[in-house]
Amino acid sequence: MSAHVVNPWRAALIAVENHWTWYRRNWRATVISNFLQPVLFLLAMGVGFGSQVQPGEATGGHPYVVYLAPALLVVTAVQNATFESSWAVFSSFKWQRTYLAVVSTPVTPAQVLYGQLLWIALRLAAGTAVFLLIAVALGAITSPSAVLAVPFATLAGMAFSAPLVAFTATREKPDAFNSVFRFLVMPMTLFTGAFYPLSQLPGWLHPLAWATPAWHGIELARGVTFGTLGVLPALGHVAYLAALVALGVVLGRRYFHRRLAV
């Protein structure tokens, strides 16, 4: 590698700028999956299905749509992170080969990774914020403290994204991504307490759910929205999610270096 002529932070930001330049021209393609899909889900499950649910102990005394909205925020972040960390990253390695072009400049493989993760985090934060605004407009969010759910949802999304990016960096073929979606992301959406409390599910599923970033994110987002979150549990959830992000970064650095260093 050539010597560093840009400092590491600036290099990562340059990588982000690269993504932004592309996104400015192609953002329309993301509108449906990033914004419209969660809103339709909120309408169908929250309002439509919710009309069949009596507010009660299971929903914390809230109407169902209010109960669902903060969790859906997290689920959306995780789902959006999935595509950005699998197909998009794979394409940058293999099809568009943008990473290969970038590392022929003074930007290092690790900085490419930081830039990619930073970009995904920005996308998640922006997407979550827009969804929150729509949910407020639909009357599904009533508490001002729900604003804090945005960083928590972003963190949960990144806790899934960073290890997935590292995994993607090891792939030569995209075959595994469909399985990742169907066997990791789908169950993580359906079985981690987003649509109903985890206690409704059989006990043997609970430890599996506790291992997922989605469950921790949902606990955090619901906790701040309804004001039921204790300080210690909050620290625990955040620490677990941060550890997953760190794990992803450490592995990702190694795999990006292996694949891109010349």
Partner 1 sequence: MTPESSTADRPGAADPAAPPSRAGAGLLLRIVPPGLYAGRSHVLVERSYLVSRRAWLSVISGFFEPLFFLFSLGYGLGRLVTGVEGVPYAQFVAPALLAASAMNGAVFEATFNLFFKFKYAKVYDAVLATPLGPVDIAIGEATWCLIRGGLYSGGFIVVMLGFGLVDSPWALLALPACLLVAAAFAAVGMAAATFMRSWQDFDLVQLAVMPLFLFSTTFYPLSVYPGWLQVVVQWTPLYHAIELMRSLTTGNVDWGALVHVAYFAVMVLVGVAVAARRLGKLLLT
Which residues would be at the binding site for partner 1 (CB under 8 A)?
28-29, 31-33, 36-37, 40-41, 43-45, 48-49, 51-53, 56, 58-59, 64, 175, 178-179, 182-183, 186-187, 190-191, 195-196, 200-201
- CB-wise, 144 or 173, nearer to partner 1? 173
- CB-wise, 37 or 143, nearer to partner 1? 37
Buried/exposed code over 134-162 (b: 16+ C-beta within 10 A; e: otherwise): bbbeeebbebeebebbbbbbbbbbbbbbb
Give the nearest distance from C-beta 171 to partner 1 in angstroms. 14
How far is 226 from 103, CA to CA, in rounded Å?
46
- CB-wise, 48 or 139, nearer to partner 1? 48
How far is 219 from 193, CA to CA, in rounded Å?
9
Query: What beta strand segments (E) does the chain contain?
Result: none
- CB-wise, 114 or 191, nearer to partner 1? 191
Give the nearest distance from C-beta 258 to partner 1 in angstroms. 26
Give the nearest distance from C-beta 241 to partner 1 in angstroms. 23
Give the nearest distance from C-beta 172 to partner 1 in angstroms. 15
- Per-residue DSSP letter, 27: T
> What own/partner pairs with CB < 8 Å and gap ≥ 24 does 132-136 have?
132/73, 134/35, 134/39, 134/42, 135/42, 135/69, 135/72, 135/73
- CB-wise, 49 or 240, nearer to partner 1? 49
Give the nearest distance from C-beta 96 to partner 1 in angstroms. 13
Residue 7 gets the label, from left (phi > 0), alpha (psi -120 to 50) or beta, of beta
222: burial class by Cβ within 10 Å (0-12, 13-18, 19+)? Answer: buried
- CB-wise, 31 or 239, nearer to partner 1? 31
How far is 73 from 128, CA to CA, in rounded Å?
6
The residue written with tokens 């307490």 in the block is 193
Give the nearest distance from C-beta 49 to partner 1 in angstroms. 5
Give the nearest distance from C-beta 11 to partner 1 in angstroms. 30
- CB-wise, 133 or 190, nearer to partner 1? 190
